Structure 1
Amino acid sequence: MFALYMKTLQNKEFALGGTLTLKPAALTSSITSITWKHDDNLLAEQLNSNSKPDYYPQNEVRISLNFKTGELSIIKLTEKDAGRYNVEINTVIQNVGYQVKIIKPVPVPMVVVQPLACNETTPNCTVDCQGVVTGAGTIRYFWKEDDGDWKESAKRKEIKNDADMQTIKEFFCKVNNSVSDEESPATKNPFYKEPSSSVGKVARIVVTAIIIIIIIIACLN
């Protein structure tokens, strides 16, 4: 069997609806014939440089084969394109193949503050990076506060209503898989407090001083 000669399978992930590109291992001579198989079924072959490639099934128009490099391409990927890919070059089965997984691109996420009643008087709340990621493979989550740097973290994290948190105005989250990444719009921090204006502080001090002086003068009279 074709697959029994395989020594190594490399894992590859491609986006649903995207394009798959697979290459043979490094070649030591020019190609005189090439055959690609998908799950041991004939997929594409070209037996010499003067012939045209054949694709299977024969009405398949999404496949293309580069005879010079041995590269296989499939566009508009579907879930049926997942599986094992093996290639035979010059009648020799290569000892490296591919195990292909077709995954969905990640959605644009949204930061949701929980509970919904969370406000400036609540001692602590959580922020959740939400989005439907079913079928999207392994997901990683990143968080950013205001104009800060992205930091990898959990999907959900706790926020405490303390002095540091009260200086943060907005939250952002980002989801990532091997084929895509998307960033959320900004979500306001329920614990944020506007910094007091120094001019306002001075004005309040001056007004207070004037009132005290007026009271003292009134008492003296």
Structure 2
Amino acid sequence: MAAQWSRSPEVTSLPRHFHAEEEEAEVDGRRKRRKGGSLRLSVVFLHRQSSVMEALQWFSSFLVLLLVVLRSALSQNKPAYFKDGGELVLRPAAVSEPISSVEWQFKSSTGVYQVAQWVKDKLPLDYYVRFKDRAKLSLTTGELRLRGMKSSDEGTFMVEINNLQQSVKFDAKLMKVLDRPEILVRPLSCSAESKDCMLTCSVDRHQAEPVTYSWSLDDGQWKEGPKDRLIINQLNTDATANAKSYRCRVKNDVSQQDSEPHPDPFSKTAPEPDNTGAVVGGVVGGVGVIILLALVVIGLLYRFKRELFNRYFSFLPCGKENPEPQPTNEDAANPEEMKTLNRDTV
């Protein structure tokens, strides 16, 4: 037993060697885990770096797009309307420094023309041929006034102040003066028994756009609104009364017109809705279509009349057009032929 117990330390030395190998393996595992951790950190860092680069690229693209939009908005042409024979006023943007030079140019479909030019202490104010007798330039504000405008003056006006081209340009366009509007009532059967009706401010808008509309009740305050106005018959509700009259106003940049007062269509004493224009227009249009169809039919008949007459009425004398004259005995028996005939007989 003593001998056996004396060998026990040698037997217990084996686990120490075994534990050394485990420790070495554990150290290697830690190293590998450290390398794996560092690799993962590198991957995460690279991923974050790429995300930051993508964010910077997106932000830079957004800034470029924003600058383009702002520049286009600032350089957008501003419409400037004028009526035939009227005046056009062009006001450039204000500048911070005193004006020392002004130059206006006009661009049309035929080219670019000088309008007015002035340089302080160097070049006196001069107007060029196209607008020479119709232009007036303010040397303090750069404002340009043009008289006697006509359709050939449509185009783009550009201004340069203190040797700097302004971003705002003016698109000059001819605009028609509005006619007096008329209030139409819909439906045609609108009466005191109707619950609601529609009022339409009718006007010819050809070459007169843009047009704004306003309404006034009982000659009261004007309020801007749509072209069509829905009115409710207040007599069928808890309200006391309807408006007694309605008026509409049309307005564009060169003119303004008001309609005649129109009585309340719900009133029992109100006249029938005057929609004569619409009715007459429909009748004239229908008659025009019928006349056009009749002309087409007559033209076709005239084109094929020879064929029709020859096919169905050739047996009639009138069915032949310009028949060839047949020779007669009187025409054949002229004196010369008679002499020749007598000679042959002899």
One-letter identity of the residue aligned with 2:82: A
Report the aligned-residue RMSD. Answer: 3.2
Distance 2:258 2:93 in 1: 36
User: Helix, strand or coil: the match of 2:169?
Assistant: strand
The aligned residue for residue 189 of structure 1 is 264
Residue 8 (structure 1) aligned with residue 75 (structure 2): yes
The aligned residue for residue 27 of structure 1 is 95
Match of 1:79 among 151, 164, 168: 151
Return closer, same or farther for 1:71/1:165 CA change in 2, 3 Å cut-off: same
The aligned residue for residue 67 of structure 1 is 139
Residue 45 (structure 1) aligned with residue 117 (structure 2): yes
Match of 1:177 among 252, 256, 269: 252
User: Helix, strand or coil: the match of 1:80?
Assistant: helix
Distance 1:146 1:108 in 2: 19
Return closer, same or farther for 1:112/1:53 CA change in 2, 3 Å cut-off: same
Calculate the TM-score normalised by the size of structure 2: 0.46
Distance apart, 1:179 and its partner CA: 4.0
Counting strand residues as a fraction of each chain, which structure ranks higher?
A: 1
Return closer, same or farther for 1:160/1:64 CA change in 2, 3 Å cut-off: same
Return closer, same or farther for 1:159/1:119 CA change in 2, 3 Å cut-off: same
Distance 1:20 1:168 in 2: 40
Counting helix residues as a fraction of each chain, which structure ranks higher?
A: 2
Distance 1:28 1:14 in 2: 28
User: Deviations along 1:47-92, whole A, 9 cap, x unmatched?
Assistant: 455634132327x422222334322110122233333211123433
Distance 1:107 1:127 in 2: 18
Distance 2:229 2:87 in 1: 35
The aligned residue for residue 56 of structure 1 is 129
Distance 2:202 2:216 in 1: 15
One-letter identity of the residue aligned with 1:137: E
Is 2:234–2:240's contact at 8 Å kept on the other side of the alignment? yes
Distance 2:181 2:126 in 1: 43
One-letter identity of the residue aligned with 2:161: I
Match of 2:200 among 128, 135, 138: 128
Distance 2:89 2:151 in 1: 16
In structure 2, stretches of 5+ residues that fail to align are 1-71, 270-346
Return closer, same or farther for 1:140/1:24 CA change in 2, 3 Å cut-off: closer
User: Helix, strand or coil: the match of 1:171?
Assistant: strand
Residue 156 (structure 1) aligned with residue 228 (structure 2): yes
The aligned residue for residue 18 of structure 2 is none
Distance 1:20 1:29 in 2: 26
User: Helix, strand or coil: the match of 1:57?
Assistant: helix
Return closer, same or farther for 1:171/1:95 CA change in 2, 3 Å cut-off: closer
The aligned residue for residue 204 of structure 1 is none
Distance 2:240 2:197 in 1: 11
Distance apart, 1:173 and its partner CA: 0.9
Distance 1:161 1:179 in 2: 36
Is 1:166–1:191's contact at 8 Å kept on the other side of the alignment? no
User: Deviations along 1:78-132, whole A, 9 cap, x unmatched?
Assistant: 2333332111234332333323333233332121224455433455443221111
One-letter identity of the residue aligned with 2:249: K
Return closer, same or farther for 1:158/1:88 CA change in 2, 3 Å cut-off: closer
The aligned residue for residue 99 of structure 1 is 171
Is 1:110–1:185's contact at 8 Å kept on the other side of the alignment? yes
Is 1:114–1:127's contact at 8 Å kept on the other side of the alignment? yes
Distance 2:136 2:142 in 1: 10
Is 1:44–1:56's contact at 8 Å kept on the other side of the alignment? no
Distance 1:80 1:131 in 2: 26
The aligned residue for residue 104 of structure 2 is 36
In structure 1, stretches of 5+ residues that fail to align are 1-5, 195-221
Calculate the TM-score normalised by the size of structure 1: 0.68
